[in-house]
Amino acid sequence: MTTDAEVKPEAPVAPAKMVEIPRVLSVKDLGDLMHVSPVEVIKELMKNGVMASINQVIDFDTAAIVATDMGFEAVETHAQDQREVLVERASGKQTIEEDETKLQPRPPVVTIMGHVDHGKTSLLDAIRETKVTASEHGGITQHIGAYQVHVNDHDITFLDTPGHEAFTAMRARGAQVTDVAVLVVAADDGVMPQTKEAIDHAKAAGVPIVVALNKIDLEDANPDRVKKELSDAGVVVEEWGGDTPMVAVSARSKVGLDDLLSNILVVSEVLDLKANPDREAIGIVVEAELSKTRGPLATVLVKTGTLRDGDYVVVGETMGRVKAMLNEHGKRIKSAGPSAPAEILGLQSVPKAGEMLVVMPDEKSARTTVTERIRQREAAAMHQQAHVTLDTLFGEISAGKLKELNIILKTDVQGSIEPIRSSLERLTNEQVKVKIIHTGSGAVTESDVMLAIASKGIIIAFNTGTEGGAERIATTDKVDIRHYNIIYKIVEDVDKALTGMLEPTFKEVITAHAEVRKVFRVARKNSIAGAYVRDGTIVRTDTARLQRNGAVIAEGKLSTLKRFQEDVREVQTNFECGIQIDGFDSFEEGDVIEFFRIERDT
Ligand code: GDP
């Protein structure tokens, strides 16, 4: 127990003043916290080799060194919860948590898909021309990536970039904006390879289809043949007892457009699409560019909430304040509600299509969120896992994370598809369903890889190769493409993978050795090893194993790899660097750090 009498007299030397510092903050914020001029902070940073401007964001470790040098004791604030809320909000996870009582119907968002030359662009143009009279809206219709039409007292939003490639590329980035797919099939040409792809891509996304039987004005239009081919491809039209509406149209003669739009509304009705207009907006970028005169421009489709002029927003890894919003008629608007497209001005840089926009309460939280997002992406990149691979499949099934194995099957000839498909589908067991989501003959394409990413699937290539572009994306995104030339081997591997019998063989590859020459204590319990690379190249993503007098003391991922003050990806032989290992803090001079990575043994 402590009594007053036991309280120690004050230390003769005044203790360092304590300053609470968040995980990330700007140079100006740090100055404010210590009640010193930001110029003093900048000078102190310079002494430590960091050149920073007043608004630059620095991390806690850097800030703590400066604060310590300036006579403060730095402690990290426990703003964890607050920050997590912001990051979560920025990742758009909040969309799931909607206040049920505030939900209101929202317009459907439609993507037009189909084979090349079947009339996708013509149909988009025809709908725009007939349904949107520019003069009504006081402007000339512009291409901003999406437009809305008004039919039977309802709005419908059309995405202006047709095709399943754009659709799946967005999904691969985690953004699903489309509610209904209009599948354009030319009545004189029928179901073609890209028609089939579009069907599979829409199905994989769980998006309902409305068929637009186009070019019905042509003499050799043959609707019956198209219905039969569609049914062979897995789409049974209503007339044949299925649940897919089909509408005969002509984009050229502008026939059947109203009928098509009403059918889109009927399908949407069933989907019961809702959002809460009365909250801060979350949206998805559908198009973005850098305008010479207006700076970065992004067309955002609002998913939920209402986006307003003047809102602070985070978009992907950039931020800004909405300076102006324009609709598809080039007219200034003050707000945009659910499913409405709006072109926004005021971002600091150009975002990517598919990235999420989130409204933030103020500039500071927007800035903090961007910094945190970048940090998280870098951290995630270091520990990046393949999406789904045959090697890791059983673990995912056992952990209950995977209930379906999605497979994209590419073969040299059409004839090989069915036997492989049926043998694979037979492997379905109680835990996991084997689902062939797309098949086709020919090499593995970019679109196949995108579909695998979007659907967390694997690709099986039988007697066929992989296109260069597809190979690159697959490597970056770690999509498992398996090549085979014997059918039973495919079945055997998938079967083994499902039952946990497929034993992946891995090997450890030693990549570098470094010697600890000096230990630097930084703020708190942190220390950095000043090391010299004896052989090999240290790559930031490799794992480190600390050895002392021949014994292994610790093993872990690198949390820091620096050359001078700069974070670097690699350090080569004969160079010095600063190293921190995750969860380890007791380096000693003379320690040897061995670096390695695990690679598949092929
Ligand atoms: P996309 O590649 O699917 O976007 O197809 P386009 O919209 O570019 O159309 C391809 C060609 O088909 C163009 O020459 C169009 O003029 C023509 N086309 C589009 N719709 C119709 C139609 O309803 N009837 C006829 N006869 N031709 C059409």
- Res 86: pLDDT: 46
Question: Is pLDDT of 601 > 60?
Answer: no
Give residue 169 CA to ligand 1 midpoint distance, Å.
24
Least confident segment among 59-63, 422-426, 584-588: 59-63
Q: What percent of the chain has pLDDT over 70?
A: 88
Centre a 10 Å sphere on the Cβ of residue 506 and count the other Cβ atoms it contains: 11
Higher pLDDT among residues 453 and 401, named by residue: 453
The position carrying tokens 């039977």 is 152
The residue contributing the CA closest to ligand 1 atom 2 is: 117
Hey, which of 97-106, 159-168, 263-272, 500-509 has the most confident mean pLDDT? 263-272
Helix 257-271 crosses helix 120-131 at what angle (to 10 degrees)? 90
Give residue 179 CA to ligand 1 midpoint distance, Å.
24
Give residue 253 CA to ligand 1 midpoint distance, Å.
11
Give residue 146 CA to ligand 1 midpoint distance, Å.
20
- Res 91: pLDDT: 47
The residue contributing the CA closest to ligand 1 atom 22 is: 215
Hey, which of 13-22, 347-356, 396-405, 518-527 has the most confident mean pLDDT? 347-356
Looking from the CA of residue 116, the nearest atom of ligand 1 is: 2
* Band of pLDDT at residue 471, cut at 50, 70 and 90: confident
- Res 93: pLDDT: 43
* Band of pLDDT at residue 136, cut at 50, 70 and 90: low
Looking from the CA of residue 115, the nearest atom of ligand 1 is: 3
Strand partners, 325: 333, 344
Q: pLDDT tens digit string along 498-524?
A: 877 665 556 678 889 999 999 988 766
- Res 566: pLDDT: 87
Question: Is pLDDT of 11 > 60?
Answer: no
Average pLDDT, the chain: 85
Looking from the CA of residue 114, the nearest atom of ligand 1 is: 3
Q: What percent of the chain has pLDDT over 90?
A: 48
Least confident segment among 181-185, 217-221, 254-258, 486-490: 486-490
- Res 237: pLDDT: 96
* Band of pLDDT at residue 4, cut at 50, 70 and 90: very low
Give residue 117 CA to ligand 1 midpoint distance, Å.
6
| Beta carbons of 352 and 314 less than 8 angstroms apart | no
The residue contributing the CA closest to ligand 1 atom 11 is: 117
Give residue 324 CA to ligand 1 midpoint distance, Å.
36
Looking from the CA of residue 251, the nearest atom of ligand 1 is: 23
Give residue 451 CA to ligand 1 midpoint distance, Å.
27
- CB-based pocket (< 6 A), ligand 1: 114, 116-122, 162, 214-215, 217-218, 250-252
Question: Is pLDDT of 3 > 80?
Answer: no
* Band of pLDDT at residue 92, cut at 50, 70 and 90: very low
- Res 172: pLDDT: 83
Give the residue among 121, 116, 260, 115 at the shortest CA–CA distance from 198. Answer: 115
What is the token pair recorded at 274? 């809702």
Question: Is pLDDT of 87 > 50?
Answer: no
User: Could you tell me which residues come within 8 angstroms of residue 139 by beta carbon, excluding any fewer than 6 positions away?
Assistant: 329, 330, 331
Question: Is pLDDT of 140 > 80?
Answer: no
The residue contributing the CA closest to ligand 1 atom 10 is: 117
Looking from the CA of residue 124, the nearest atom of ligand 1 is: 7
Higher pLDDT among residues 246 and 582, named by residue: 246
Give residue 119 CA to ligand 1 midpoint distance, Å.
4
* Band of pLDDT at residue 385, cut at 50, 70 and 90: low
- Res 504: pLDDT: 54
Strand intervals (E) in 418-466: 433-441, 458-462
Q: What is the pTM of this model?
A: 0.67
Residue 136, classified by CB atoms within 10 Å of its CB into exposed (0-12), middle (13-18) or buried (19+), is: exposed
98-113: string of b/e by CB count within 10 Å (b at 16+)? eeeeebeebbbbbbbb
- Res 241: pLDDT: 93
Give residue 317 CA to ligand 1 midpoint distance, Å.
39
Question: Is pLDDT of 55 > 80?
Answer: no
- Res 206: pLDDT: 92
Give residue 135 CA to ligand 1 midpoint distance, Å.
26
Looking from the CA of residue 184, the nearest atom of ligand 1 is: 3
Looking from the CA of residue 125, the nearest atom of ligand 1 is: 7
Q: pLDDT tens digit string along 317-344?
A: 899 999 999 999 888 999 999 999 999 9
- Taking residues 118-142, what's their average pLDDT? 78
- Res 465: pLDDT: 85
Looking from the CA of residue 255, the nearest atom of ligand 1 is: 23
Question: Is pLDDT of 229 > 90?
Answer: yes
Between the CA of residue 307 and those of 95, 110, 214, 304, 324, what are the distances in Å?
14, 21, 36, 9, 11
- Taking residues 193-217, what's their average pLDDT? 95
Pocket test for ligand 1, best of 116, 118, 122, 216 (most atoms within 8 A of CB): 122
Give residue 151 CA to ligand 1 midpoint distance, Å.
24
AA letter at 521: R
The residue contributing the CA closest to ligand 1 atom 6 is: 119
Give residue 115 CA to ligand 1 midpoint distance, Å.
11
Pocket test for ligand 1, best of 117, 183, 214, 260 (most atoms within 8 A of CB): 117
Give residue 176 CA to ligand 1 midpoint distance, Å.
27
What is the token pair recorded at 333? 């608007």
Strand partners, 308: 335
- Res 9: pLDDT: 41
Least confident segment among 92-106, 241-255, 539-553: 92-106
Between the CA of residue 268 and those of 110, 167, 256, 272, 336, what are the distances in Å?
10, 18, 19, 7, 21
The residue contributing the CA closest to ligand 1 atom 17 is: 119
Give the residue among 315, 390, 392 at the shortest CA–CA distance from 356. Answer: 315
- Taking residues 363-378, what's their average pLDDT? 82
Least confident segment among 163-172, 290-299, 324-333: 163-172
